[in-house]
Structure 1
């Protein structure tokens, strides 16, 4: 005979999270997850800053201002300090970093400790939530919580300080779920108010907390006797909070979506027709990482997981698994089965990771599995608990560990927890610093242009810092090879070309350095570094020009500001020497002309370029500069005549066609403007 559910619900209504803790057994069990967090991640306390810790903490302008920077952090895009607008509004973790900076400076040990404390607190909150959802099942709750905490994919979140946004988002979101559930039983308005506050804090931690909004109605449906109207009203309250957050975000950032870069490294899946099969394929990867967490990677960017079509059989395997999961969830929905709820929880919390691929063509990332692991942990725990015998009359579990299946029950949990824990503890040292992370993950991430670039860059940095020549040369050679592999995978990878330019500059191969800098992203830092390469070559005119351009882009560029006086002094000295030096070399006067151009002294520059052409009549470059000087002096007739001379020497000269098109446009001769424009395009 089944127990009276109405009586059971009435009894449950009078209980709350606080009364649950008062249970003498749970009062002690709740501390197990907290202690377990230190067992799992205690070996990260001596770690340095790694990966995105640098731009988000160490080099973040406002984080480093401590208390004074908090007001700015509350109004900035998450990546604003790096000059990027991704439309991410996540001030809470940045504020926590700023507070820590004010209290102890950049102390990675304390920051890692805070992450572990927050993770331990997360374990306690998960335990509390599950204790309320699965009442009178303390062992079930504890084991599900420990499996969640032990899963190795969490290392990217807990061992990486920057990922505190993920921890805070999940922690606050889970607290909101706990308090909503408490309110459904106790009708305590304080619980509901606190739920709203924690939900809002979860959104301020990371926008993916919006998934909590979708979990609330399912939680109330599965674990309370509440009907549709009540569930809808509670859900609507949190929809209102979400709308308020979006309005705040727009008020602070001026946008909801930002202007994400379209680089192929982080957004590689551009073919819309292949998005769905590729998303299914990556979903399969996520499942594989959940079940078999081997060869974990911090980076899955281009071209680690290539775009695939429907012809790939693994796409159909993933689709089949998705269909089974949906069928199981629907089949058990009316019965309010644990499996159904867990699948729904898993699916909802996976939404951000899947949407990032499907809607934006973004990459896989293990941090997207942080919340979904809880759904899988409940499923695994539930299935293993099926091995235990039950009373025939009541159906209650019997904790009799003598039968063979009960021994299998113990062995299953022992194997899973031991395996996951060992994998987590072993993975943590990889996150000690950039070198340990990059050198380990490159073994399995050879197809990622970004990973090759990261590893190559770190090798080059270590080469520069090394004092032993043999070690210095070895590190530099290996670093350059990794960077070359990076641009082989992605020939348009500007950051890799920039680092190659830096590497060859350190090797004093300035021509090759300049060649790679020209292929890099044309930003202030690239121009400043390229200027130094020209300076080392003795081309002070080009060096000065590039430094000026660099400072126009970023007046605060330290490299450009520091080296401008040095280059200016060298330029002036060279100019004096060239002015007094008697020469019959066309190149001498060509260089002198360029130096006058840098001073915007176009009259003297014109004379120098004319002298260069006089000494070498076939010197097309000098003749083009003669025309350019006429143009700058607004002598358009002579400029046109000069560029026509250029075409006599070089009939397909694209620059001459462009300049003539521009000049005829200025003079109102649009037919000739169009004629030379078409010539320029044809060449």
Structure 2
């Protein structure tokens, strides 16, 4: 089969395998990164997109996740601009990028690695069908990995593929920078480029070193290497500068091994995690969207049998490394060397050796390293095929079995990513001892008004992970007994003193018990923890005397000067306190930002009526009728919003253990304030609810 038919076959295979993922919903990290991200929704200036992290928090913020991927965020923004928040088109782009990656990898296999065409086709098909890629392809935020991989492969091909013309080293380095802007691991293509170039140029370089005579080839290599090293240094300096003086903050539940006090426990666990990642590449039987909270227990003793697997794995790695270095002389096994480079170098950032990462294991991180794993397997199949007739049959049978298993597993796994409930239940099935899975399922039951089931799973999460602050907080919001709720909120605060929602909810408990001074104290702590925590200001305004309440409400309007609900709320207070002229101004500001804001329109009419200007009432009533008729068609949408409890749905999936997840929020204000705050606040906020409250977007603020 020629190259063009091979590329076409790989593309068709991708499309068939992921066709059942196209109608999936926004799930897991899609909610904070897309649905609630102002940089994606277009409500923030385009420039702000290049100042914020992947989740929409300013990079200058001390609590930023520090994941800087503006190219990926820009692609989401374009998706939203073209088709709105329609999941289908987001999935279409992901699948298209996966097709591009699979085709580019097929070209790398045949042109650079030197595989036979039929085995290059096999490599492309296995990569296309690999089940570990479902998180990157079917989960929309996985676009960061797919986009980075596609640019990674383009950069590699421009550097090494002579069929594309003279080596375009400068353009390859520019593409590496773009890959880094899609996801940080994209930068590793520069290391892969220079390492593989050294391998190909080693005979000339060695001769120059030993004989002291520079050849033309060695000089060219030195120039290419200098360009790559300069580009890599510049990009690394820029990336470090983007951290703006602080590293991301993680907790023990994100990555328990990184926080263990014993160095030998950390080392043994990190080594075993490398083994486990490799196992997922070669035998992806157990897959999960979240591996936190004890999913992979720490290796605390030398007697742990998992150390045997670690020793075997690193023994094999040493043998492969020896074989690769030995091949520097004769270049007989280029696919072996290239496979090892693809497998090892892009995986280095996830090993915790360079920096601490915020996860135990993440399947989408394996998207680029899987290039190397697939190349090694297919090269082994080619060697087996070339060694005899009987082995040809064995290689053929093994290839068919692998492709069939991977394809069926991928199609089945895509179904897990179709909805929030399906993903959570798949996670529970795969990792029943993961406290985060039970917490997520409890949140789902809570949003579905199945309170008893929610309580059951919150308690199970606390049994598996007793120091789970968010589970204590959310469980407290479901307790009918005030004392029991208070105990849960206090437990959450004792575990995580910066848990702002637990402070707020405890303030609610005190208010209901007529312990007003304690409620005020707790709400003031909320504001000290997060100066833009809107619910605390609003509740304090209810508890404080008139002038102080007015100052609090006015401060909220300064925090959110374009939020019509808050502007109208302050205008109502002004009207109640007979400050009619000021009330009219704030009602007009609210209507300026939302022309169909009913509360602001009625308040504006009442203000004029109180001054005897009845002719304004006719105008207001006419406009009211027009808005009412328009909104009748949206009644179903409003009913859903009114039962959404501040759009808590699906928020549970954003890395709850990180400090980031407790304080920083991307929101759509118009969803939240279409109904009175009181019923929602009486119910209390869970650890996700604040995501729906508009937050200050001042990059210089500290919350």
TM-score (norm 1): 0.70
Kindly state the Cα deviation for residue 106 of structure 1 after the two structures are TM-superposed.
Answer: 1.6
Q: Partner of 2:25: helix, strand, or coil?
A: coil
Residue 320 (1) aligns with residue 312 (2)? yes
- C-alpha separation in 1, matches of 2:171 and 2:544: 62
Query: Which residue is equivalent to 1:286?
Result: 277
Query: Which residue is equivalent to 1:262?
Result: 251
Query: Which residue is equivalent to 2:6?
Result: 29
2:132 to 136, 139, 153: 153
2:512 to 518, 528, 536: 536
1:419 to 405, 408, 430: 405
Kindly state the Cα deviation for residue 430 of structure 1 after the two structures are TM-superposed.
Answer: 0.8
- C-alpha separation in 1, matches of 2:194 and 2:355: 25
- C-alpha separation in 2, matches of 1:57 and 1:412: 41
Residue 380 (1) aligns with residue 380 (2)? no
Instruction: Determine if contact 1:387/1:406 at 8 Å carries over to the other structure.
Output: yes
Structure 2 CA distance for partners of 1:45 and 1:361, relative to 1, 3 Å: closer
Query: Which residue is equivalent to 1:88?
Result: 67
Instruction: Determine if contact 1:150/1:417 at 8 Å carries over to the other structure.
Output: yes
1:333-352 paired onto structure 2 within 5 Å: 333=325, 334=327, 335-336=330-331, 337=333, 338-352=335-349
Q: Partner of 1:306: helix, strand, or coil?
A: coil
- C-alpha separation in 2, matches of 1:132 and 1:369: 23
Q: Partner of 1:355: helix, strand, or coil?
A: coil
Q: Partner of 1:321: helix, strand, or coil?
A: helix
Query: Which residue is equivalent to 2:27?
Result: 50
Residue-by-residue CA offset, 1:158-177 (whole Å, 9 max, x unaligned): 11111211111111111110
Structure 2 CA distance for partners of 1:86 and 1:310, relative to 1, 3 Å: farther
Kindly state the Cα deviation for residue 418 of structure 1 after the two structures are TM-superposed.
Answer: 0.9
- C-alpha separation in 2, matches of 1:282 and 1:145: 27
Residue 410 (1) aligns with residue 396 (2)? yes
Structure 2 CA distance for partners of 1:496 and 1:274, relative to 1, 3 Å: same
Residue 128 (1) aligns with residue 107 (2)? yes
- C-alpha separation in 2, matches of 1:305 and 1:171: 31
Q: Partner of 1:62: helix, strand, or coil?
A: helix
Instruction: Determine if contact 2:71/2:178 at 8 Å carries over to the other structure.
Output: yes
- C-alpha separation in 2, matches of 1:537 and 1:368: 49
Residue-by-residue CA offset, 1:499-540 (whole Å, 9 max, x unaligned): 112222xxx333222221222244433333333333334444
- C-alpha separation in 2, matches of 1:355 and 1:316: 21
Structure 2 CA distance for partners of 1:243 and 1:88, relative to 1, 3 Å: farther
Kindly state the Cα deviation for residue 273 of structure 1 after the two structures are TM-superposed.
Answer: 2.2
- C-alpha separation in 2, matches of 1:481 and 1:235: 59
Kindly state the Cα deviation for residue 246 of structure 1 after the two structures are TM-superposed.
Answer: 2.7
- C-alpha separation in 1, matches of 2:473 and 2:118: 55
Instruction: Determine if contact 2:169/2:224 at 8 Å carries over to the other structure.
Output: no
- C-alpha separation in 2, matches of 1:202 and 1:226: 31
Structure 2 CA distance for partners of 1:226 and 1:501, relative to 1, 3 Å: farther
Structure 2 CA distance for partners of 1:547 and 1:328, relative to 1, 3 Å: closer
Residue-by-residue CA offset, 1:430-478 (whole Å, 9 max, x unaligned): 1122221111211232332322322222222222xxxxxxxx3xxx223
Query: Which residue is equivalent to 1:429?
Result: 415
- C-alpha separation in 2, matches of 1:183 and 1:241: 22
Larger radius of gyration: 1
Residue-by-residue CA offset, 1:356-377 (whole Å, 9 max, x unaligned): 6995695122223212212121
- C-alpha separation in 1, matches of 2:513 and 2:234: 58
Which ranges in structure 2 are unaligned for 5 or more consecutive residues? 206-217, 549-703
Query: Which residue is equivalent to 1:303?
Result: 294
Structure 2 CA distance for partners of 1:136 and 1:209, relative to 1, 3 Å: closer
- C-alpha separation in 2, matches of 1:54 and 1:377: 32
Instruction: Determine if contact 1:218/1:341 at 8 Å carries over to the other structure.
Output: no
Query: Which residue is equivalent to 1:112?
Result: 91
- C-alpha separation in 2, matches of 1:182 and 1:291: 28
Residue 510 (1) aligns with residue 510 (2)? no
Structure 2 CA distance for partners of 1:247 and 1:280, relative to 1, 3 Å: closer
Instruction: Determine if contact 2:177/2:187 at 8 Å carries over to the other structure.
Output: no
- C-alpha separation in 1, matches of 2:306 and 2:500: 45
Residue 245 (1) aligns with residue 245 (2)? no
- C-alpha separation in 2, matches of 1:33 and 1:166: 19
Structure 2 CA distance for partners of 1:95 and 1:227, relative to 1, 3 Å: farther
Q: Partner of 1:234: helix, strand, or coil?
A: helix
Residue 103 (1) aligns with residue 66 (2)? no
Instruction: Determine if contact 2:169/2:228 at 8 Å carries over to the other structure.
Output: no
Q: Partner of 2:430: helix, strand, or coil?
A: coil
Kindly state the Cα deviation for residue 49 of structure 1 after the two structures are TM-superposed.
Answer: 1.0
Q: How many aligned residue pairs are there? A: 520
Q: Partner of 2:471: helix, strand, or coil?
A: helix
- C-alpha separation in 2, matches of 1:214 and 1:357: 15
Q: Partner of 2:416: helix, strand, or coil?
A: helix
Question: CA RMSD, aligned part only?
Answer: 2.9
2:441 to 455, 465, 479: 455
Kindly state the Cα deviation for residue 47 of structure 1 after the two structures are TM-superposed.
Answer: 1.1
